[in-house]
A and B are shown apart, each in its own frame.
Chain A
Amino acid sequence: MNQFSYIRPASLKAAIDAVAKDNSARFIAGGTNLLDLMKSGVTTPEKLVDINRLPLKEIQVNGATLHIGALALNSELAAHDTVKSQYPLLSQALLAGASQQLRNMATVGGNMMQRTRCSYFYDTTMPCNKRNPNSGCGAIGGINRMHAIFGASDSCIAVHPSDMCVALAALDATVLVTGPKGSRRIPFHDFHRLPGNTPQLDNNLGKGELITGVEIPANDYTKYVYYLKVRDRASYAFALVSVAAALDIHNNEIRSARLAMGGVAHKPWRLYEAEKALTGKAPTEENFRYAANIAIQSAKTYPHNAFKTGLSLNSIQTALLKAATV
């Protein structure tokens, strides 16, 4: 690890200024991802701007909207009464992530900003376009069992590792950011990026911009929801694939559906077509299979992850069935 300086500003402006004006400065929240990246030499900031003193911890219901501060801990958010009753999908997704100890440190902002777990990205002796643009992609010709089947490019096939973000994508959240030029709102769908030929960019946050919070609009997905995470070990493992399924069912009819996947793309992957196909249909196994089939049409696999297509199909169907049969 290189030498770095450390500050812990008390105001939003001071924190943003510190990062906006210094190319080698980074925000640090829980540190559960950033410190690992620093120890591996993947990220070598010369200044850490600790944001934990900023007043961004609160979880509140404002009218019909849930407002989550960027510094809310993953564990607190998962256990929050309103979240459990009104946004149970989010709670389930959070609890499927990492371990209790990590969730006690990890923040909502940090979770959104966590970087891919692609091994080549972590090993600085290996080629990786994301870490070192134009050095090549180690995974494409290498070990790619954990990698993307949707939306990848010839320069990067990494996946976004978050569970929480899959639920936020499904629930049409909005990201609130403040930067040197003021504040803006980014629909969750537009927050993370596909790799294209700029895989070094994970998302559309600008230099010096700080995530202050996330908003989730009121919704009807309080009952028929399920977060399915398929992984190699029962806990404390990243997803092979995961599915966030939310249904609004009335009189045996699906009024609307929300579906998103993790572990399959460079960003949380919304299954819009499948959602559409389910709208107005009965919650039957056949309809779920049909929708799942639509979702996997655009899958493109690599030598070690061909299994993810069928696994996705089965997992989408299973998640929908679990959601529908509470």
Chain B
Amino acid sequence: MKKQQTGQSMDRVDGRLKVTGGAKYFADHHLPDMLYAALVCSPITSGTISSINATKALKAPGVQDVVSHLNAPPVPGYKNAEAGAKDGLKIFKDNRIYSNGQPVAVVVANTLERAVYAASLVEVQYNQETHHTDMNASMNKAFQNNRMKDYLRGEADAWKKAPVTVDATYTIPLEVHNPMELGGIIAHWDTPDTLVLYAKTQGVKNVQDTMKKLFQLPEQNITVHSEFVGGGFGMALRVWPMEVATILAAKKIRKPVKLMLTREQMFTLVGYRPNATQQLSLGATADGKLTGITHEAVAITSPYEDFTEGIVAMSKFMYACTNVNTRYQLVPLNMSTPVWMRGPGEATGAFALESAIDELADKLHMDPLQLRVLNHADTDPERNLPFSSKYLKEAYLLGAEKIGWANRNAVPRSLQENGMLVGYGMSSGTFGAYRGKATVSATLKSDGSLVLQSAASDIGPGTATAMVQIAADVTGIQASKIKFMLGESRYPFAPQQGGSSTVSTVGSAVTDACQALLQKLASLGISGPDFKGAEQEVTVTATSQAGKERDQYSMYSFSVHFTKVHVHPATGVVRIQHIVSVADAGTIVNTKTARSQMIGGVVGGIGMALTEEAILDHRFGRFVNNNYADYHVPVNADTPPTDVYFINKKDPYINPMGAKGMGEIALIGFAAAVSNAVYNATGKRVRDLPITPDKVLDNKGNQPWKVENKMTT
């Protein structure tokens, strides 16, 4: 019997290519006669362009053209509405400026340096209008749309009647995905109506579909390549206006054009996690049973799109509580549109909910772990359905054991180590376990090797590796003889890599395709283990999607995060010492890449908790820390030993592998595990992320806690 492949820690099939520089990311491609683009971006935040003078730029060495709303080729898919009508920014459609950094022209030259220099020579005049970038100052504009209706179960605001209550405001700042690889695209019109793109994207089919609509071309006229992606975290889940601008420039000039953003432009052109303020109120009986949860959130969006996400989602089903009401509103500002960022919405909401639970535990003099277990939802209280699988209680206990939760003292400031205040914190996270629709083709070559193709993406989790393992188990073919090919729009359809659903969706289609292939081979009299004997290649294609089970069960992944932190008693500096994260994500297909995936999410969570914040100067509507030096993504020194554990029990319903998603839960809830630990260490509750030293201290920079007689070193 062959060794089962899923569940092993197989090395990445493309690991060698990646570490030796052999993997080609979009910008590594070079086309004959290719030109380079640089963007001219608006320094104003609201208003109109009154003139663009490109004379000097056009005279600069190597410059081919300066493309703007004045001369861009028409986009047939732009309806006759203004550029910023509610269906997204139509770049170069007219002269209106909706946000700072909006591209107003693209300069194309024969070298990057020349394009960048010439961009500085384009003279643009603006009519400036009053802008609004401060959510707090624009609360009167808050609105709801039909994707964000109020939710009510039982009685509204029931928490108010409870004997023990928590009612607190939690805020998170605007965060930017900032993957190492910058955004951009290479656009080439092979003929006036065939478009070839090398994109940085989480979904080649999505890019193809967007182009189909924008340029009203048949699908086969649009080719999108995206074999390797250097991180996305959500920023590459859609086509951005700057990409369309580049495609328009290429169309006008009739040569391939490459655009690569600057780090600064990553803050204004490819989305962000919207800043949000949340009021979270809990009511409980004196013995800790939740009797009311009210969760009200306000987040920002652009003037031209209503970006919504699951900020209040978790509060509806995470705990067994009869009375729950939620409200979610948006404030439109002169900002570009947000986009899903790892753990979208839920990460924001979980910070509020899981901090409030900790505050409640403190008021009840109860262990927060015990409080969570006491209010555990055995069935989904929102949909009134059983969970397809849920091992959250097991995860709580495992995590508690591994971090040494028993060492925690519920009284803040009671533990010290080497002169540092010690705190323990925990939280939970959850995210929907999805399964979409995908198609995979499976081809058996005459040498007995197997080639699978699907237009999936891999932004880093190791998609192809997992698919090879799944296929190896279904077919019995050795993993080394299986190749999974992705990132090409000409392959059969797969959805975007988002929402932690790739293994579930594409893995199911791999399973179905491999099974169909086995049947076909059997009918041809070819059988394993070698599958030799076929005179030519045998190909089958299978499409796979979820069935009725999704109406019968609620499907969620769960995570539990535990942290141990040190807080310096004099400077307020927080350093996480140890992290334990446990995932209830069904069957783990590859324990090695899954572990990396969890650690990556945790590092994102450290950033959310301690360091990341994009800061705007509202007078100008501009970011003041739009670079890697000042926008602090965590570095190695911020990342302590991180122990990852998997429950690794098959979900019986979600898909043939029994694998739920994991990308999002790795981060969701993490920030609360840190803020709860900081409270445990210091007695100071920080409800406004990130937890920088100044927030741990009081507003004059002194310790809000009583300094012990013996000052520590």
A313 CB contacts on chain B under 8 angstroms: 701-702
Please tell me if B180 contacts chain A, counting CB pairs below 8 Å.
Answer: no
Chain A, Cβ-Cβ closest to B713: A321
List residues of A (291-326) whose CB comes within 8 Å of B's CBs. Answer: 306-315, 317-318, 321-322, 325
Convert B554-577 into 0s and 1s, putting 1 for each residue whose CB lies closer than 8 angstroms to a CB of A.
Answer: 000000000000001011110100
B615 CB contacts on chain A under 8 angstroms: 143
Do B622 and A125 have beta carbons less than 8 Å apart?
A: yes
B130 CB contacts on chain A under 8 angstroms: none
Taking a contact as CB atoms closer than 8 A, the residue among A143, A285, A307 that contacts B624 in the complex is A143
Asked whether A307 and B570 contact (CB < 8 A) given A1-B116, A117-B630, the answer is no
List residues of B (661-713) whose CB comes within 8 Å of A's CBs. Answer: 690, 692-694, 697-703, 711, 713
Taking a contact as CB atoms closer than 8 A, the residue among B620, B635, B690 that contacts A235 in the complex is B635
Please tell me if B617 contacts chain A, counting CB pairs below 8 Å.
Answer: yes
CA distance A317 to B625 in the complex (A): 30
Please tell me if B611 contacts chain A, counting CB pairs below 8 Å.
Answer: yes
Please tell me if B638 contacts chain A, counting CB pairs below 8 Å.
Answer: yes
CA distance A317 to B419 in the complex (A): 14
Do B624 and A311 have beta carbons less than 8 Å apart?
A: no
Taking a contact as CB atoms closer than 8 A, the residue among A141, A231, A306 that contacts B701 in the complex is A306
Asked whether A232 and B632 contact (CB < 8 A) given A123-B624, A142-B624, A310-B698, the answer is yes
A1 CB contacts on chain B under 8 angstroms: 113, 116-117
Please tell me if B637 contacts chain A, counting CB pairs below 8 Å.
Answer: yes
Please tell me if A233 contacts chain B, counting CB pairs below 8 Å.
Answer: yes
Please tell me if B619 contacts chain A, counting CB pairs below 8 Å.
Answer: yes
Q: Shortest CB–CB separation between residue A16 and chain B, in angstroms?
A: 29
Chain B, Cβ-Cβ closest to A146: B630
Do A126 and B620 have beta carbons less than 8 Å apart?
A: yes
Chain B, Cβ-Cβ closest to A141: B619
Convert A123-149 into 0s and 1s, putting 1 for each residue whose CB lies closer than 8 angstroms to a CB of B.
Answer: 101100000000000100111010000
Q: Shortest CB–CB separation between residue A73 and chain B, in angstroms?
A: 20
Chain B, Cβ-Cβ closest to A99: B635
Do A234 and B635 have beta carbons less than 8 Å apart?
A: yes
Asked whether A3 and B117 contact (CB < 8 A) given A317-B570, A318-B571, the answer is yes
Please tell me if B629 contacts chain A, counting CB pairs below 8 Å.
Answer: yes
Q: Shortest CB–CB separation between residue B520 and chain A, in angstroms?
A: 55
Chain B, Cβ-Cβ closest to A138: B617
Please tell me if A41 contacts chain B, counting CB pairs below 8 Å.
Answer: yes
A123 CB contacts on chain B under 8 angstroms: 622, 624
B572 CB contacts on chain A under 8 angstroms: 311
Taking a contact as CB atoms closer than 8 A, the residue among A228, A233, A309 that contacts B700 in the complex is A309
Do B570 and A315 have beta carbons less than 8 Å apart?
A: yes
A126 CB contacts on chain B under 8 angstroms: 617, 620, 622
CA distance A143 to B120 in the complex (A): 26
Convert A89-100 into 0s and 1s, putting 1 for each residue whose CB lies closer than 8 angstroms to a CB of B.
Answer: 000000000010
Please tell me if A247 contacts chain B, counting CB pairs below 8 Å.
Answer: no
Please tell me if B600 contacts chain A, counting CB pairs below 8 Å.
Answer: no
* B contact residues, range: 35 or more
> Which of B120, B694, B699 has the largest count of A CB atoms less than 10 A from its CB?
B694
Q: Shortest CB–CB separation between residue B683 and chain A, in angstroms?
A: 17
B145 CB contacts on chain A under 8 angstroms: none
A285 CB contacts on chain B under 8 angstroms: 711
Do B701 and A321 have beta carbons less than 8 Å apart?
A: no
Do B635 and A312 have beta carbons less than 8 Å apart?
A: no
Do A314 and B571 have beta carbons less than 8 Å apart?
A: yes
B120 CB contacts on chain A under 8 angstroms: 2, 41
Do B117 and A309 have beta carbons less than 8 Å apart?
A: no
Q: Shortest CB–CB separation between residue B580 and chain A, in angstroms?
A: 20
Please tell me if B173 contacts chain A, counting CB pairs below 8 Å.
Answer: no
Please tell me if B43 contacts chain A, counting CB pairs below 8 Å.
Answer: yes
Q: Shortest CB–CB separation between residue A113 and chain B, in angstroms?
A: 18
CA distance A313 to B702 in the complex (A): 8
A235 CB contacts on chain B under 8 angstroms: 635-638
Do A233 and B634 have beta carbons less than 8 Å apart?
A: yes
Chain B, Cβ-Cβ closest to A98: B629
Please tell me if B610 contacts chain A, counting CB pairs below 8 Å.
Answer: yes
Chain A, Cβ-Cβ closest to B616: A143
Asked whether A310 and B697 contact (CB < 8 A) given A125-B43, A142-B624, A322-B713, the answer is yes
Q: Shortest CB–CB separation between residue A47 and chain B, in angstroms?
A: 16
A237 CB contacts on chain B under 8 angstroms: 629, 632
Q: Shortest CB–CB separation between residue B245 and chain A, in angstroms?
A: 20
Asked whether A307 and B617 contact (CB < 8 A) given A232-B693, A233-B610, A235-B635, the answer is no
Please tell me if A236 contacts chain B, counting CB pairs below 8 Å.
Answer: yes
Do A307 and B700 have beta carbons less than 8 Å apart?
A: yes
B624 CB contacts on chain A under 8 angstroms: 119-120, 123, 142-143
CA distance A238 to B625 in the complex (A): 13
Please tell me if A167 contacts chain B, counting CB pairs below 8 Å.
Answer: no
Do B637 and A234 have beta carbons less than 8 Å apart?
A: yes
B636 CB contacts on chain A under 8 angstroms: 235
List residues of A (187-220) whose CB comes within 8 Å of B's CBs. Answer: none
Please tell me if A77 contacts chain B, counting CB pairs below 8 Å.
Answer: no
B113 CB contacts on chain A under 8 angstroms: 1
Please tell me if A240 contacts chain B, counting CB pairs below 8 Å.
Answer: yes
A152 CB contacts on chain B under 8 angstroms: none
Do A230 and B571 have beta carbons less than 8 Å apart?
A: yes
Do A142 and B632 have beta carbons less than 8 Å apart?
A: no
Taking a contact as CB atoms closer than 8 A, the residue among B575, B620, B635, B701 that contacts A314 in the complex is B701
A120 CB contacts on chain B under 8 angstroms: 624
Q: Shortest CB–CB separation between residue A36 and chain B, in angstroms?
A: 9
Q: Shortest CB–CB separation between residue B111 and chain A, in angstroms?
A: 12
CA distance A234 to B632 in the complex (A): 10
B622 CB contacts on chain A under 8 angstroms: 123, 125-126
Do A2 and B117 have beta carbons less than 8 Å apart?
A: yes
Taking a contact as CB atoms closer than 8 A, the residue among B573, B630, B701 that contacts A307 in the complex is B701
CA distance A120 to B625 in the complex (A): 10
A311 CB contacts on chain B under 8 angstroms: 571-572, 693-694, 697, 701
Q: Shortest CB–CB separation between residue B433 and chain A, in angstroms?
A: 33
A231 CB contacts on chain B under 8 angstroms: 573
B570 CB contacts on chain A under 8 angstroms: 314-315, 317-318
Convert B102-125 into 0s and 1s, putting 1 for each residue whose CB lies closer than 8 angstroms to a CB of A.
Answer: 000000000001001100100000
Asked whether A119 and B630 contact (CB < 8 A) given A142-B617, A143-B624, A307-B694, the answer is yes
B693 CB contacts on chain A under 8 angstroms: 230, 232, 240, 307, 311
CA distance A311 to B698 in the complex (A): 10
CA distance A230 to B575 in the complex (A): 12
> Which of A1, A143, A234 has the largest count of B CB atoms less than 10 A from its CB?
A234
CA distance A325 to B712 in the complex (A): 11
Q: Shortest CB–CB separation between residue B171 and chain A, in angstroms?
A: 16
Do B694 and A145 have beta carbons less than 8 Å apart?
A: yes
Do B629 and A307 have beta carbons less than 8 Å apart?
A: no
CA distance A118 to B679 in the complex (A): 32
List residues of A (163-178) whose CB comes within 8 Å of B's CBs. Answer: none
B637 CB contacts on chain A under 8 angstroms: 233-236
B610 CB contacts on chain A under 8 angstroms: 232-233
Q: Shortest CB–CB separation between residue A37 and chain B, in angstroms?
A: 12
> Which of B575, B703, B713 has the largest count of A CB atoms less than 10 A from its CB?
B713
Q: Shortest CB–CB separation between residue A100 and chain B, in angstroms?
A: 11
Convert A21-57 into 0s and 1s, putting 1 for each residue whose CB lies closer than 8 angstroms to a CB of B.
Answer: 0000000000000000000010000000000000000
What would 21 A/B residue contacts be, using CB atoms closer than 8 Å? A119-B625, A142-B617, A142-B619, A145-B694, A228-B571, A232-B690, A233-B637, A233-B638, A234-B637, A236-B635, A307-B701, A308-B701, A309-B700, A310-B698, A310-B702, A311-B572, A314-B570, A314-B703, A318-B713, A321-B711, A325-B713
With contacts A232-B611, A307-B694 known, what are 20 further pairs, Cβ within 8 A? A1-B117, A41-B120, A119-B624, A119-B625, A119-B630, A126-B622, A232-B610, A232-B693, A233-B610, A233-B638, A234-B635, A236-B635, A238-B629, A240-B693, A306-B701, A307-B697, A307-B700, A310-B698, A314-B697, A315-B571
Interface residues of A (CB under 8 A from B): 1-3, 41, 99, 117, 119-120, 123, 125-126, 138, 141-143, 145, 228, 230-238, 240, 285, 306-315, 317-318, 321-322, 325
Q: List the 4 closest A-B pairs by CB distance, nearest first.
A: A310-B701, A234-B637, A307-B701, A310-B702
